Structures are given as C-alpha cells and as structure tokens.
Amino acid sequence: MITITEQHISDFKRDGAICIRGLFEPHWLDSLADGVVRNFENPGPYSTVYTKPGEPGGFYDDYCNWQQIDQYRQFLQQSPAAEIAGKLMGSKTARIYHEHVLIKEPGTRQATPWHHDLPYYGVDGDQAISLWLPLDPVPQDACPEFIVGSHHCAKMYYPKLFLTRKNYGDDIAGFETIPDIDANREAYKILSWKLNPGDCIAFHMRTIHGAPPTTHIKTRRRGFSTRWIGDDARFAVRPWATSPPFPEVKLAHGDRMEHPSFPVLWSA
C-alpha cells in the first residue's frame, strides 16, 4: 500500500520537486530493467545518442515505447505510479503522457542542460508531473538537480537541443532564453539527493532542472521517467515540432487531452 502524505503534497506544491524514499518494490525495478534491455536492443524511432563517436561514456535516450514493451506497459497500468502522480498533482485523474528512459554510462562528459519540460511538450496545464526512478544507485553529485520553486515562475523558456545546446527558436513572443544557472549557482536553491533503486523523484513539468556528467562514477545511471497529466491539461500547439511529436494526435489548441495516446490510468 502506498502512502502519499499531505506533507508530500505540500512539499511538492512549494518546491516543485521532491524525493520519496522506497516507493517502488524491487520487482518493478527488475521488470523495468528487463524492459530497458529490450528497448535498447531494438530502439524506437525517437532514440537518440548524445555522445559523439570516440567520446568516453555514453549518453542516450528513448521514449514513447510503452505500448510496444510489455514491462513498461505493465508498470504504467499496474504499479502505483499513476496513483502517486494523481495524488501529488491534486487531480481526480492521471493520464499517461509518455515514458522516457535516459541513460548515462560511467565516464560521460555531457551534462544535461538546464531546462524545463513543458515548452518541449504539446500540453499546457498546472497538473503536470514527472516521476523519475533510478534503476541504479546514484550518488548525489550524479543526481539530476532541480531549482526550488521555479515552477511558480510564469516565464516559459525555449527548449534546448541536447545535442547542440541551441534554442528551438528565437524572437518568439512568450519565450525567453533560460539564464546561465551554472555561472550563478549561488543565486539559486538547488535540490538533489543520493538515490537508491526504489526511490522516486517527482517534479513539476515547469520545474527547471538539469543533470551533471558521470565522469566520476563507476556504474551507469539509468533513469526511467513517466510523465503524467491531470484534469486541467489541455493540448498546446507550439511554434516548433514538439518532443515527443505525437504525429497521430490531431487535437486543436486548447482541447482536453482526450485521445487514445493518453489514456486515463488512475481515477480517484
């Protein structure tokens, strides 16, 4: 039985990112690890490698494969993830938006650039959350980092290409270039944690976050993310191709996210 407390909900609303310890049982992590092997033996159409040939380590990802990979689908439909997301969002329902696997091998020099997720996506709303599960132990200095309270800011920042660090666009009304956080880290309150498998980071899709290189660790860092949306989510048309693109979704801007690609997997 899962326990999402009022303190968890309050902390999430305040900070935009929380870590809940020991939330997922080992059998779910073992199953997801099997799914990740299957995933990268036969990558999906959106799989990307971010390290250049000859560079040490390896940084790569894939997403939108849950309908083809049994272990992912079972996790989404049968694990506590959807209920956790719904309760933290304060929503009566939780729809899956997509799953996302990000892997950094030991020795990887690439940092994940500071960004927030919502401008990448074709969705708007306040009930929008990601659950990030480590499938390996993660020391704090290799953990994703989160800017406390940044989800409260009304600003929307250009998405960045992870390969080039360039903005998706330029001179587009309503979007700004994200500040150089690393050059002024003392100005921000930054959260990160030492993680064990079973722990879960929950963060708002507006929360600014990034992740350091893994040059100093001896084991890979596999992160399995699920992205969830709630009752107030609406389809959004962006000035760029969204990531994920969801070419099968033909909703209009402002429509409710009622589409087979985004099924409701939990109801209060």
- Give the integer Cα–Cα distance in Å for 132 and 181: 22
Contacts of 207 (CB under 8 A, 6+ apart): 16, 17, 116, 146, 147, 150, 151
Per-residue pLDDT of 143-195, as tens digits, reads: 999 999 999 999 999 999 998 889 999 999 999 999 999 999 999 999 999 99
Rounding to the nearest 10 degrees, give the CA dihedral for residues 10, 131, 206, 117: 180
Nearest to 62 by CA among 234, 222, 208: 222
Helix (H) / strand (E) containing 74 = helix 70-78
Average pLDDT of the chain is 96
88-132 pLDDT tens trace: 999 999 999 999 999 999 999 999 999 999 999 999 999 999 999
**Beta strand 145-147 with 190-191: parallel, antiparallel or unpaired?**
antiparallel
pTM value is 0.97
pLDDT over 70, % of the chain:
99
pLDDT band at 1 (very low <50, low <70, confident <90, very high): low
Quote the number of domains for the chain. 1
Question: Could you please report the per-residue DSSP string of 24-70?
Answer: S-HHHHHHHHHHHHHHHHS--TT-EE-SPTT-SS-EEEEES-TTT-H
Residue 222 inside a domain? The answer is: yes
The most distant pair of C-alpha atoms in the chain lies apart, rounded to whole Å, by 50
Q: For the segment 17-67, what is each residue's pLDDT rounded down to a tens digit?
A: 999 999 999 999 999 999 999 999 999 999 999 999 999 999 999 999 999
| pLDDT tens profile 137-151 | 999 999 999 999 999
According to the model, what pLDDT value does residue 214 have? 96
- Residue 133: inside a domain: yes
Rounded Cα gap, residues 235 and 117, in angstroms: 15
* Structural domain of 185: 6-267
Q: Would 1 be classed as within a structural domain?
A: no
CA-angle at 134, arms to 131 and 135, nearest 5°: 130
How large is the average pLDDT for residues 219-240?
97
User: Which three-class secondary structure state does DSSP give residue 144?
Assistant: coil
**What are the b/e assignments for 168-200, b being 16+ CB within 10 Å?**
beeeeeebeebeebeeeeeebeebbbebebbbb
Mean pLDDT of all residues in 239-251: 97
Cα–Cα distance for residue pair 198/53, rounded to 1 Å: 33
Q: Is the pLDDT of residue 2 over 80?
A: no
CA distances from 58 to 38, 174, 209 (A): 18, 35, 20
The CATH number linked to 87 is 2.60.120.620
Strand-pairing partners, residue 211, are 112
